[in-house]
Amino acid sequence: MTRSTHPPNPTDLVAGYVLNDLSPEESDRLNQALAETPTLHAEIASFTEAFSLLPYDVPIVEPSTHLKSKIFNAVTQSIGQPAPTRPQPPTAHVVSITSAPRRNWKRWYPAISTSIAAIALATIGLNQIQIRRQSQQTIALQQQVEATNTELTRLRSELQANQGTIALLSQSYTRAYSLIGVTSLPQNSRRAAARLFAKPGDRNVTLVAQALPKLPINQIYRLWAVATPSVAPMYCGQFRQDDSGTAQWVAPNAACTKNPSQLLITLDAPSDPITSAGPLVMRSSS
């Protein structure tokens, strides 16, 4: 061990004493320090107790080939040489801490260091895994919150858009007509459905549709009322539903809502004449 050129402080001397690593000069300095500072006896006892708690069964790490060769050479050179006598502090001062046999901790340094490093790495790895999981959970919760807020916004918009329909339904004498698509939609094999609300003889019409495709600018839906099976359908207005599937308009004739036997919805161009209907899209039950 390379010795420092500066005089060691008493704590270093105490640690060296506990580790059985004092030179004769350092042992003399420790004896002097013990005589000048009696409280160092308690520090020696504390250091000894701490080192006695280190585990004895820490696995020995196999040294590398180069390090093993250096160890063998050092052992060969030391054979035949008498073991250095361990310097002792004054007997009167250290009787209470020299009664127990000392252990040479130096041979455990590689194993202890390796074990500490392994435990530190494992702890860091576990912390990183835990932080990563917490981060993923936080992101998932944020996404759920955002999705919930989006859904709430949509529901509020639909509720606001349907305030007129709700008010209409709360009125007396309002009738509801159910309409169903005549063919399935190609994209999901579902049939469009709709409910039409109106008071008998009132020209205000409200329609709430589900799965009814939205139209481009060059197409429009038209409503037709059939008073009796023997009479030609009567034009009752045209519409495009909004994002919530709702459409409201005023029928051109009060007869459109005066107990018709059937309601029809067709697909037309805005410029088509209202005397003839385009392809049938939906119809109510007769």
pLDDT digits (tens, 9 = 90+) for 114-168: 666 667 667 777 777 878 888 888 888 888 888 888 878 877 776 666 665 556 5
Q: Residue 40 has what pLDDT?
A: 80
pLDDT of 93 strictly over 60: no
| Alpha-carbon dihedral sign for residues 164, 170, 175, 178 | positive
pLDDT at 197 over 50: yes
Q: What is the SS3 assignment for 2? A: coil
The phi, psi pair for 248, rounded to 5°, reads: -135, 135
- Specify the pLDDT at position 144: 85
Average pLDDT over residues 223-248: 91
Count other Cβ atoms within 10 Å, centred on residue 71: 11
Mean pLDDT of the chain: 76
Kindly list the distances between the CA atom of residue 269 and the CA atoms of 3, 107, 199, in Å, as whole numbers in the listed order: 101, 95, 28
Picking from 211, 204, 222, 213, the residue whose alpha carbon sits closest to that of residue 283 is: 222
- This prediction has a pTM of 0.43
Checking if the pLDDT of 91 tops 70, the result is no
CATH second-level architecture of 174-284?
A: Sandwich (2.60)
| Across 65-90, average pLDDT | 59
Read off the amino acid at residue 26. E
Higher pLDDT, 165 or 56: 165
Predicted pLDDT at 62: 60
Strands of 280-284's sheet in order across: 234-239, 220-226, 262-268, 280-284, 175-184, 191-198, 204-210, 246-250
Domain segments of the chain: what residues? 10-104, 105-161, 174-284
Burial class (CB in 10 A: 0-12, 13-18, 19+), 21: middle
pLDDT value at 187 more than 70: no
Segment holding 223, helix H or strand E: strand 220-226
Three-state DSSP state, 151: helix
Is 178's pLDDT higher than 80? yes
What residue ranges in the chain does DSSP mark as E strands? Answer: 175-184, 191-198, 204-210, 220-226, 234-239, 246-250, 262-268, 280-284
Average pLDDT over residues 40-51: 77
What is the model's pLDDT at position 95? Answer: 38
Q: Are 28 and 36 in contact (CB under 8 A)?
A: no
Distance of CA 202 to the CA centre of its chain: 55
Structure token digits, residue 134: 């917490």
Q: Which amino acid is at 24?
A: P
**pLDDT over 80 (residue 231):** yes
